[in-house]
Each structure stands twice: as structure tokens, then as C-alpha cells.
Chains A and B, each alone.
Chain A
């Protein structure tokens, strides 16, 4: 049986003989729209839940100083989110010393929102969750820990650390995939059209590390790596890889060419991987391999 014969055979077998279509296209469009709305709502629910938790004061209640000057737990303090807080007021509540600027002054903020402040002259950054009037902002790393713990806050964190101008406001965007390694987190954030955003964040107090959000074209993989000196000697190599890849991919392997690899899951073509391993002298560059269910190699490359 030749190829044209097989093709002809299948064409005959698939001939519907004029069988009418039963699909109502108006209904189909409505179904498609509902499906899209549902997926968007599902992605947004996480953000709303986090916002609601903040409003209830259960995620990150600001410390309150009592008349005696000691800190008390603000069990009775329920931050309200009614109304916006001006930029100057955000700065005053977060760092009243007057030497900081907002990274994103173009955005509007309410109590409970996450902001990034930059020291005048660009010598430092810190995170702040806009506190209630009369409350003291919590430490930058504590805010980071809270906002890197689960999907929706991680998306919020990525939106906050994103550079101004080159990346849109991602505060309400969906997190398609995320990964954590110690104090570092990575995420793939849904963008618009054919562009997503790869995000990598580390605690603000780290002397080195990365807090970055970069556009990544659908179908390609964003890669970046860096080293950080570990306490007590030695250093750790980190690599972040994120993107929308082949639907058939199930695993992403990352590691030096001759050495142990780390494997990360790929779901629905979305992947965010965070490689972390002790840095070794003379270590070969990291490479990655995208694998199908049965281990079939779909794509490979090196980490930039």
C-alpha cells in the first residue's frame, strides 16, 4: 500500500457524505467566551483571595506601636482598602526619611498594596506593603517572604519588581507556572498576544541576586543564571528558565553538561524552573533539555 493509497483510503473513510453539522456556531462562540472568562476568573481568584486576606489582616498585618512604645499584634486592626493613597503618603508611610522614590509612580496604590521603593541615587531597593495610617511598615524581607509564598502573591511580587516602562502592569495577570528554591522564586506570567513574562525574585537584602521581569516570546524559553556567595563560604549557582513551550513537553532538565541535572515539570506547555546547586570551580555551562513523556528530546539549549 503506497502513501497516496493510504491517504486516499483515509479520505474515503473520513468522507462525511454530506452529514449535516449539528454545531450552532453562536452557541460555540458563547461556550468559547465562557471558557475564556472562566479561566481568567480562576486566575484572578487567587489574587482576590490574597487581597481579601490582606484586607482581613491575616496575611501581613502591620505591626502597631502602643502608647508604651512596645509592638503589639494588631488583631483588632483591619486595614481598609477604600480609597487610594497618594504617592507621597505611600512614601511617608513606608519610609518617612524622604530619601526614597516609588519604582512605579504611574500606578495607583491602596492600603495593602505592594510597592517597591528605590533609594535616591539608585543604591538600594526595598519592598513595602502600604500600611494603615499610624502603622509601621514591616521589614522588606518579611514582605518578600509573604509575597513569594504562593501563586497569586508571587504574581503580585513580580509585578512590583518589574522595571518601569518596558513591562506592562502585571498586577492582575495570571501566573502560568512557578518554582521556588530556598529564598528565590521564579514565575511565568501571562502577558498579551504572543508575549509572556519570565520573573525571578530574591530577597531585597541579598547583596547579589536578581529581581527581574523580562518578556519572553511564546514558543521560546527565557534563561538566566547568576551566582551568590553563601554564608559560611562557597557559593550557589542559580538559573531561572521560563516560557511557553511545546505542548508535548512534560519535563525540563537543567544541569551542567557533565553533572547531575535537576528536573522540573511542564504543564500545558508552561514551565518555570529554578535551578540551584553549589557552584563548583571550572563547572561547565548549564544546559537544558525539554523532554516528552517517554523521554523523547523535543528541544535543548544552554543557559545564558
Chain B
């Protein structure tokens, strides 16, 4: 079992690490931290490898675990002392794309971690309200209100950004 598990796990990690890092980044806004969180999520996947009933559910389990870890990390006191997420720049990006992405990232940074998690789960991972509530350990009503608040703040933040750019 061990050798087969290791091979299968490594294949899964190769195929999913980048996606998990992206998911974590959307919640935490820090690429280095995002990769750490993705690694932690994969370690948890390995821990539960025999318990995850169907292989096709591995990706979903890993993504939800990643979001959960990002939320847990945001709850830690040392995390609260830090300023909002500072987006890393990617040197290979085209300047225009980078500017647009930074705007969106900065807009996301104005949201509370749980609001970001709601958006990521609902619109990036395509989870239902019920699934999102289960991952975040809250009610469906809370998910709906957090999502609504997040969208309002996101629109406002992007509106401000647009104004500034047009000046």
C-alpha cells in the first residue's frame, strides 16, 4: 500500500500544486504563504489518503482543505498584526496585465478573509452555498450575507481603482 500510495500521491501533487497555490493565494494574497498552505493541504491529503473514498474527490478535498487552512492562518494573532496582503509581482507578466491583476488583488485585499473565502469557494471553486457553509463551518445564511457584503465591497474597491486610473 505504501509504495503505491506514494506514487499516486506524488502524481496528484504534481498535477494539483499550482492550482492549490492559486486557490490559497486568492484567500491570503501572498504567493509564498500560498505555496506553504498548498503544501500543508497536500500533507493533509496524504494523511487522509486511505479515507478519501473516491479518487475524483481528491481535488475537491484538497481545495477545500487549502481554503480552510488559509482561513485558519488568517485567524492566528500573528497574522492579524500584519498589514493586508501585498501582492507579489511576477516578472514575466506583461505590464498592462500586471496592473489589472494588481488592482483586483488590492480590491480583494480590502475584504475580510472569510469574505474572500466565500468568493473563492462560491465563484472560483464553484461550491454551492451549502458546501461553502460546510467548509467554513457557518450557516448558509452567513455565507449569503458574507458573499453579498464581499461583492459590495469589491465593486466599491474596483470603482475607486478605476477612478484613480482614469485620472
Contacts and interface: CB of A to CB of B under 8 A. Distances in A.
B90 A19 contact: yes
Nearest to A249: B137
A18 B90 contact: yes
A296 B133 contact: yes
Nearest to B136: A248
B6 to A, nearest CB: 6
Contacts of B26: 10, 13-14
B70 interface: no
Interface in A280-295: 292-295
Contacts of A45: none
Contacts of A39: 47
Contacts of B140: 296
A292 B10 contact: no
A83 to B, nearest CB: 31
A28 B90 contact: no
B30 interface: no
B81 interface: no
A148 B153 CA distance: 55
Contacts of B149: none
Nearest to A219: B53
Secondary structure of the B side of the interface?
A: helix
A22 B119 CA distance: 27
Interface in B30-77: 31-32, 35, 38-39, 42-43, 46-47, 50-53, 68
Interface in A249-298: 250, 292-296, 298
**Contact residues on A (Cβ < 8 Å of other chain), bracket:** 35 or more
Contact of A35 (B43, B68, B93, B119): B43
Interface stretch (A1-9, A92-100, A113-121): A1-9
B21 to A, nearest CB: 7
A25 B136 contact: no
Nearest to B43: A32
Interface string B119-140: 1100110000000011111111
**Contact residues on B (Cβ < 8 Å of other chain), bracket:** 35 or more
A32 B92 CA distance: 32
B35 A29 contact: no
Contacts of B123: 3, 6-7, 10
Nearest to A10: B124
Contacts of B52: 194
A149 interface: no
A219 to B, nearest CB: 7
Most buried by A among B139, B140, B154: B139
B43 A23 contact: no
Contacts of B6: 29, 33
Given A16-B31, A28-B39, A244 B90 contact: no
A53 B46 CA distance: 33
A193 interface: yes
Nearest to B92: A18
Q: Which 8 A-B pairs have the closest CB atoms?
A: A32-B46, A17-B90, A296-B139, A248-B137, A13-B104, A14-B22, A17-B93, A10-B124
26 contacts: A9-B154, A11-B124, A13-B26, A15-B22, A16-B22, A17-B97, A17-B101, A18-B92, A19-B88, A22-B32, A23-B38, A23-B39, A25-B10, A25-B17, A28-B39, A29-B6, A29-B9, A29-B46, A32-B42, A39-B47, A193-B50, A194-B53, A218-B51, A247-B134, A292-B139, A294-B142
